[in-house]
Amino acid sequence: MSVSAKRARVDYSTLVKYLQAQETRKANELLEEVLPKLVEYLRVTMGADHTTAEECVQQAFLNVYERILGDKIRDPKSILSYMMQASRNEYLSYRDKNKKYTDLPVAHDPIVEPAEQVELLIDRERKQAIKDCMRKLDRESREFILYFFENPGVRSRQVAKKFNTTEANVRIKKHRIINQLNQMYLDRMTEG
Predicted TM-score (pTM) of the model is 0.49
Q: How does pLDDT run across 38-73, given as a tens digit for each residue?
A: 888 888 888 888 899 999 999 988 888 888 888 887
Mean pLDDT for the chain overall = 79
Q: Which residues contact 27 (CB under 8 A, 6 or more apart)?
A: 15, 18, 19
Name the percent of the chain lying above pLDDT 90.
10
Please return the burial class of 154, using the count of CB atoms within 10 Å of its CB with bins 0-12, 13-18 and 19+.
Answer: middle
Instruction: Look at residue 83 and tell me whether its pLDDT is greater than 60.
Output: yes
Please return the burial class of 16, using the count of CB atoms within 10 Å of its CB with bins 0-12, 13-18 and 19+.
Answer: buried
In which band, very low, low, confident or very high, does the pLDDT at 107 lie, cut at 50, 70 and 90? very low
Instruction: Look at residue 103 and tell me whether its pLDDT is greater than 90.
Output: no
Q: Which residues contact 177 (CB under 8 A, 6 or more apart)?
A: 137, 141, 144, 145
Q: Give the C-alpha distances (Å, rounded to integers) separating 128 from 75, 83, 141, 148, 155.
A: 37, 27, 19, 19, 28
pLDDT at 163: 92
Q: Which residues contact 79 (CB under 8 A, 6 or more apart)?
A: 12, 13, 15, 16, 64, 73
Per-position DSSP letters for 59-91, written without gaps between them: HHHHHHHHHHHTT--S-GGGHHHHHHHHHHHHH
Instruction: Look at residue 161 and tell me whether its pLDDT is greater than 90.
Output: yes
In which band, very low, low, confident or very high, does the pLDDT at 12 lie, cut at 50, 70 and 90? confident
Question: Which domains are present in the chain?
Answer: 10-102 (1.10.1740), 113-192 (1.10.10.10)
How far apart CA 20 and CA 69 sit, in angstroms, is 6
Q: How does pLDDT run across 110-152, given as a tens digit for each residue?
A: 554 555 666 666 677 777 878 888 889 899 999 998 888 788 7
Sign of CA dihedral 103, 130, 77, 7: negative
**CA 178 to chain CA centroid, nearest Å:** 9
pLDDT at 1: 42
pLDDT at 10: 60
Least-confidence region, from 10-19, 25-34, 94-103, 111-120: 111-120
Please give the single-letter amino acid code of residue 49: D
